[in-house]
A = this chain, B = another copy of it.
Amino acid sequence: MRLYLALLHYPVYNKHQRRIASAITTFDLHDISRLAKTYGVKRFFVITPLEDQQGLVERVIRHWTFGYGATYNPFRKEAFELVAISPSLESCAKSILDLEGERPLLIATDAAKQSGRPMSYAEASEVVTSERVVALLFGTAWGLDKEVYSHADYILDPVDSGSGYNHLSVRSAAAIILDRLAGGYPKG
C-alpha cells in the first residue's frame, strides 16, 4: 500500500460559497495523524498557503515529535512523525512524485454526490490496497473548491449512511473512509 492523505485548507469554501483559506484545527492534526498511523498511510500532508498557519502546524509537530509531548506520549510522536506541511495541492503531489517516482492518483472526497468521475468504495479499496500510489484529498470548512475536483482523477462516493444527514466532521469522514478503504489490508 502506497497511500497518502492530504487535508486541504485552501482552496475551500466558506459558508457563503466563497473561496477561502481556512484556519488549522489542531484536533484534525491529532485525529488524522493517529488514523494515518493506524491504517498504514505513508504521509499525511497538511496543505495551507498561509505562513502563520504553517508555523502553527510546525510548532504542534515539533512539540509532539521532539518536545515535551514526545516523552509524555510516544504514541502521539509516532503519529505526528507522519505529518508534513505543503503550501498547495500541486506542491504536495510533487513531493509524493519525488518520494515514490510516480505521480499519485488523486481521489477527492466529498460529502455530496458528484456527477463526474465517481468512484465506489469497492473500486477505491482495490486501488488503495494495490501497489498504485494514491492520495486521498479531504477538505475543511464548507468543502473543497470545484477547482480541486477538476484536478482530481476520481471523486469518491459520499459516506452516505442512508439517513440523508451528511454533515460529519472531516475527522469522522476520514476515519470512516480509511476504515472502508484500508481496514482489511494487512499492515506492516
Please give the residue numbers on chain A whose beta carbons come within 8 Å of chain B beta carbons, in ascending order: 27, 30-31, 34-35, 37-40, 75-76, 78-79, 159, 161-169, 171-176, 179-180, 182-183, 185-188
Contact = CB atoms under 8 A, between A and B. Distances in A.
Contact of A167 (B34, B163, B187): B34
Contacts of A166: 38
B169 A31 contact: yes
B35 A172 contact: yes
A102 B180 CA distance: 33
B179 A162 contact: no
Given A175-B176, A179-B179, A180-B179, A186 B168 contact: no
B38 A161 contact: yes
A9 B78 CA distance: 26
Given A78-B165, A179-B180, A172 B34 contact: yes
B162 A185 contact: yes
Q: Which 4 A-B pairs have the closest CB atoms?
A: A163-B187, A175-B175, A172-B175, A75-B167
Contacts of A188: 162-164
Contacts of A79: 165, 167
B39 A161 contact: yes
B176 A179 contact: yes
A38 B187 contact: no
A124 to B, nearest CB: 15
A182 B159 CA distance: 12
A187 B169 contact: no
